[in-house]
């Protein structure tokens, strides 16, 4: 059985073209807009100064 060697991006992050983020929620708004909530997949803050 083969296992992937890299983590796959979730489908929503791929659709919205958000390479360094993970989509955790997306809703259609009443007037036709869309609200997308994302979290960063990278380290928080500056790696050198915190």
Residue spans per domain, the chain: 11-40
pLDDT in tens for each of the 50 residues of the chain? 666 555 666 777 777 777 788 888 889 999 999 898 888 888 777 767 76
Specify the pLDDT at position 3: 61
Which phi-psi region, left, alpha or beta, contains residue 45 (left: φ > 0; alpha: ψ -120 to 50)?
A: left
For residue 10, the model assigns a pLDDT of: 74
pTM of the model: 0.55
How far is 35 from 5, CA to CA, in rounded Å? 32
């Amino acid at each position: 059985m083969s296992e992937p060697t890299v983590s796959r991006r979730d489908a929503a992050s791929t659709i919205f073209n958000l390479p360094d983020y993970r989509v955790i929620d997306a809703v259609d708004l009443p007037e036709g807009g869309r609200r997308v909530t994302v979290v960063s997949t990278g380290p928080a803050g500056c790696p050198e100064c915190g």
